[in-house]
Chains A and B, each alone.
Chain A
Amino acid sequence: MKAIGIILAGGNNSRMQELSKKRAIAAMPVGGSYRSIDFVLSNMSNSRIQTVAVLTQYSARSLNEHLSSSKWWDFGRKQGGLYVFNPTVTADNSWWYRGTADAMYQNISFLKKRHEPYVIITSGDCIYKMDYNRVLDYHIGKKADITVVCKDMGEGEDVSRFGVIRMNEDAKIVEFEEKPMVSQSGTISTGIYILRRRQLIEMLERSAEEDRWDFVTDILIRYKNMKRIYGYKIKEYWSNIATAESYFQTNIDFLKPDVRKYFFRDEPKICSKVDDLPPAKYNAGSDVRNSLVASGCIINSKVEDSVLFKKVFVGKNCVIRNSVILNDVYIGDNTHIENCIVESRNTLKANTYYCGSDGIRIVSENNERYML
């Protein structure tokens, strides 16, 4: 592969509410067995990209732990590998990453040392499958300076949290607005960009001289009329999990047969860190319908239309409905959970009731674990 990968995984979003308190969005568990960053890492590995840099900043402990070995995504190679860059204090810089461009600028020596001609910049909070080689071929074919992967959102979907794009008939981007209140178009940027490595270095150095630190507003939008910036449309499943509602919906999407087939059955597969958990166990009284259950779960009661992540224990006579239960949650007997996201490593006492009435309720208790 003629490109290196950069994953911007430092971000936090207040719209994740309590969920992003203890981890970066890129480390959010997704689809029962995965974490958000697994999707982009697997895409890179499956596209035969050998060198990937992950730029982290916000609450990176959980993410660093997940990335502690690169072997799960087949990056443990002599050539290339997986690099994790946390912000560090150096002789001439004591800033945190002040923006996405700054995050890359502070690691510009890494960019300069590589020999691959192209760079693929992505974020760690999107759920999709993609062969980046196809985007690169498109980029080369269009003789583009920058290619932005974009997506047509459905009618009536809120696009105000994305960069909104308008293209001409040749797919050249003529308008690019960052998070507009009212938008003219339903096409959004997915935060995946391809450009030449030398070009990126030049742009980053120029922005740094002007004290500009954001890749989208300070580079993409400013260069829009000067450089050839093209859009590549993704037609398959793509979802951004950076708000509590979309996070919930993305997980529930996995209950659809076509989404499940696309991510679980079709090659290439998504890889993740293996946890060595035993298979899921269903005791007498379990009644599980239209739900996903990950390994290590023990279930004693009713579960409907829900996603249970790894190592969830469900006690007797519970009802769990339309909910997402994250990793390692203990649910005591006679508990009712409906329209909730239960934060990981929680212990829910017996005889409790949690129900999201309008919208999704995020449950995060700090009870002591009392196991058998």
Chain B
Amino acid sequence: MRVARTNKRREVKDVIRKEMIAMLLAGGQGSRLGVLTAGVAKPAVAFGGKYRIIDFPLSNCINSGIDTVGVLTQYQPLRLNTHIGIGIPWDLDRNNGGVTILPPYEKSDNSEWYTGTANAVFQNMTYMESHHPEYVLILSGDHIYKMDYGTMLEFHKRQKADVTIATMPVPMEEAGRFGIVVTDENRRIEAFEEKPKEPRSNLASMGIYIFTWEVLKEALYTLRDQSGCDFGRHIIPYCHEKGLVLSAYEYNGYWKDVGTLGSYWEANMELVDLIPEFNLYEEYWKIYTRSDVIEPQYLAAGSVVEKSIIGEGCEIYGEVSHSVIGSGVCIGEGAVVRDSIIMKDTCIGEGARVEKAIIAEGCSIGKNVSLGAFAEAPNCLNASIYSFGLVTIGEDSVIPDGVAVGKNTAISGVTARDDYPEGILKSGGVLIKAGDIV
């Protein structure tokens, strides 16, 4: 932060300049998470017991010394808004700057929703201008990682770059699944390849960009009429064609995209390893979150808990192994939970068997229910979303006592015994009772 003079509105006045501000894109639905995002935006989905996905980029910001963050919301923002509040958990409640929620709004002409990532940022030009930044950091709210954006900014300055793209090396054989950047020996970007068949490099773009403010402003204005204006597809290619200096910052830490149910489940399960690659227990680089449950958890005399992470205020009477359990969860006597993710305030009935399931917040699973039973079968609604043999249960769902649910299934809403013919939801079945069709 520093004070500078501007000639805005023909008068010279002192303004506070922020060196770098962050624009955090948190408006996406994350439709590949199926029923988990029926009622919440993807960045607000719980992760690792007590966190939400957006906690990671927000904590990275404050740990990197960025105290001005605009959070762009659009899809189902209520949970996100209440979670962020005025930013107290991340120390982002500031007199100057801090966190600001930026939803789409009506204008005197040309009102529209956010039609693309760059369009969303463009619509908040006045927000960015009010902070007089030198650099703008573009982040997305759907990755799990710890990264010092300050180091990336130093690199950006050292390179005298106009745009810096964060990249990470991926195995060459997997490079075909990513957006790949090809660089010269000075880390200047020469070419982009989107999901190339024969990749020329293994540096994958992470969707994190630093722009020099004037460059971003110009590009956004020039492409303002581009429909669905997107950073990856429009702004970056535009800057490249214009001959600006684009450089690739190489990041070598842990970074996980949790965009699909499979990768979301995997990333959670990695946390329970003895010393996980992504370690939440390090003193350095803490991850902050809003925690409204603070009481300790209780493990009853008959409980068995192994290889698990368990949140505050849980009451465990049954058996839990290799699972991630959120705050305020109750697991009844004789229940067995294996390889599963159970989010906040869910209740698992006595004698239930839960295997390889993702159960969202506030669910009630009846007594002696069996989740993840039977042989695997492809999902009847969308086999590309509901796969990996997982049972996925949406928020506030109710499952009646004694039913059996197969693999690759999805359930959402208050279900009754009648919804399960012969007390069974076969593998691959979908049962959605709430109004939302996913």
A288 at the interface (CB under 8 A from B): yes
Which of B174-182, B280-288, B371-379 forms contacts with chain A?
B280-288
Q: Which B residue's beta carbon lies closest to that of A76?
A: B88
Q: Which of B48, B302, B307 contacts A279 (CB 8 A)?
A: B48
A281:B305 contact, CB within 8 angstroms: no
B259 within 8 A of A: no
Name the interface residues of A263-284: CB closer than 8 Å to any CB of B.
263-264, 270-272, 274, 276, 278-284
Asked if B89 is at the interface of the complex by the 8 Å CB criterion, the answer is yes
Residues B311 and A283 in contact, CB atoms below 8 Å apart? no
Interface-forming stretch among B37-45, B293-301, B352-360? B293-301
Residue of chain A at shortest CB distance from B88: A71
Q: Does B80 contact A (CB under 8 A)?
A: no
Which residues 169-197 of A sit at the B interface, judged by CB distance below 8 A?
none
Name the residue of chain A whose CB is nearest to the CB of B312.
Answer: A295
A289 adjacent to B296 (CB under 8 Å): no
Task: Check if A293 sits within 8 Å of B297, measured CB to CB.
Answer: yes
Q: How far is the CB of A336 from chain B (nearest CB, A)?
A: 20
B49 within 8 A of A: yes
Indicate if the CB atoms of B294 and A288 lie closer than 8 Å: no
User: Residues of B contacting A287 with CB < 8 Å?
Assistant: 304, 306
Q: A264-B313, A279-B312, A281-B272 in contact; A292/B298 too (CB < 8 A)? A: yes
CB-nearest residue of chain B relative to A291?
B299
Given contacts A71-B88, A288-B303, A289-B303, contact A281 B296 (CB under 8 A): no
Residue B437 is within 8 A (CB to CB) of chain A in the complex: no
Contacts A71-B88, A289-B300, A295-B312 known; A274 to B294 CB distance under 8 Å? yes
- A32: interface (CB < 8 Å): yes
B50 interface residue, CB < 8 Å from A?
yes
Chain B contacts of A308 at CB under 8 A? Answer: 296
User: With an 8 A cutoff between CB atoms, is B309 at the interface?
Assistant: yes
The smallest C-beta distance from A289 to any residue of chain B, in angstroms, reads: 5
Asked whether A241 is an interface residue with its Cβ less than 8 Å from the other chain, the reply is: no
A-B contact count (CB 8 A): 106
CA distance A198 to B99 in the complex (A): 46
Chain A, residue nearest B325 (CB): A279
Contact B295 A33 (CB under 8 A): yes
Closest to A313 in B: B281
Residues of B with C-beta under 8 A to A334: none
Q: Is A260 located at the chain interface by the 8 A CB criterion? A: yes
A2 to B205, CA, bound (A): 61
Q: Which A-chain residue is minimally distant from B323 (CB atoms)? A: A282
- Cβ B305 vs Cβ A288 within 8 A: yes
Task: Report B-chain residues with C-beta under 8 Å of the C-beta of A199.
Answer: none
Whether A280 pairs with B310 at a CB distance below 8 angstroms is yes
Give chain B residues whose Cβ lies under 8 Å from the Cβ of A307: 296
Known A-B contacts A272-B294, A274-B89, A279-B50; the reply to A290 vs B280 at CB < 8 A is: no
In the assembled complex, which residues on chain B have CB atoms less than 8 Å from the CB atom of A372?
275
Q: Are A293 and B294 in contact (CB under 8 A)?
A: no
Q: Which of B281, B298, B301, B325 is the most central at the interface, judged by chain A CB atoms within 10 Å of its CB?
A: B298
Q: Count A interface residues, CB 8 Å.
A: 39
A225-262 CB contacts (< 8 Å) to partner B: 254-255, 260
Check B281 against A293 for contact (C-beta < 8 Å): no
- Check if A31 is an interface residue, CB within 8 A of chain B: yes
Q: Say yes or no: B311 contacts A279, CB within 8 Å.
A: yes
Q: Is residue B151 contacting chain A, with contact meaning CB distance below 8 A? A: no
B130 CB-CB contact with A under 8 Å: no
**Nearest CB of A to B46, in Å:** 11
What residues on A are CB-neighbors of B306 within 8 Å? 282-287
Question: Majority SS of interface residues in chain B?
Answer: loop
> Does B82 reach chain A (CB closer than 8 Å)?
no
Q: A282-B306, A282-B310, A296-B281 are in contact. Are A276 and B296 (CB under 8 A)?
A: no
Q: What's the Cα separation between A31 and B308 when bound, in Å? A: 23
CB distance from A319 to the nearest CB of B (A): 16
Q: Which of A302-334 contact B (CB under 8 A)?
A: 307-309
In the bound complex, CA of A307 to CA of B298 (Å): 9
Chain A CB within 8 A of B274 CB? yes
Contact flags A339-372 to B (C-beta < 8 A → 1, else 0):
0000000000000000000000000000000001
Chain B residue contacts of A278, Cβ below 8 A: 48-50, 280-281, 287, 309
- From 182 to 229 in chain A, residues with beta carbon under 8 angstroms from any chain B beta carbon are none
* Beta-carbon contacts under 8 Å, B304-362 to A: 304-313, 320, 325, 327
Q: Does A120 contact B (CB under 8 A)?
A: no
B309: contacting residue among A279, A284, A291, A292, CB under 8 A: A279
B contact residues around A276 at 8 Å (CB): 89, 286-289
Please tell me if A294 contacts chain B, counting CB pairs below 8 Å: yes
Tell yes or no: A298 within 8 A of B by CB: yes
- CB pair A289 B299 closer than 8 Å: yes
**A271 — which chain B residues lie within 8 A by C-beta?**
294
CB distance from B48 to the nearest CB of A (A): 7
- Decide if B296 touches A33 in the complex (CB within 8 Å): yes
Which residues of the partner chain A approach B49 to less than 8 Å between Cβ atoms?
278-279
- Nearest-neighbour CB distance to chain B for A260, whole angstroms, equals 6
Contact of B296 among A71, A282, A283, A292 (CB under 8 A): A292
- Which of A34, A254, A286, A307 has the most chain B CB within a 10 Å cutoff? A286
A32-54 residues with Cβ-Cβ distance < 8 A to B are: 32-34
Closest CB in chain A relative to B269 CB, distance in Å: 13
Shortest CB distance A51–B (Å):
22
**A271 CA to B292 CA, complexed, in Å:** 9
Given known contacts A31-B296, A291-B298, A293-B296, is B313 in contact with A282 (CB within 8 Å)? no
Q: Is the CB of A280 within 8 A of B303?
A: no
Residue of A nearest to B279 (CB): A278
Chain A residue with the shortest CB-CB distance to B307 = A284
Distance to closest chain B CB from A263 (angstroms): 8
Inter-chain CA distance A282–B297, complex, in Å, is 12
A309 to chain B, nearest CB (A): 8
* B interface residues, Cβ below 8 angstroms from A: 48-50, 88-89, 272, 274-275, 280-281, 286-289, 291, 294-313, 320, 325, 327
| 20 A-B pairs with C-beta separation under 8 A | A276-B289, A278-B49, A278-B50, A278-B281, A278-B309, A280-B297, A281-B310, A282-B306, A283-B274, A284-B306, A286-B306, A290-B301, A291-B298, A292-B296, A292-B298, A293-B296, A293-B297, A294-B296, A295-B50, A372-B275
Starting from the known contacts A283-B307, A290-B301, 11 additional A-B residue pairs (CB-CB under 8 Å) come to A71-B88, A276-B89, A276-B287, A278-B280, A278-B281, A279-B48, A281-B308, A282-B306, A286-B305, A289-B303, A292-B296
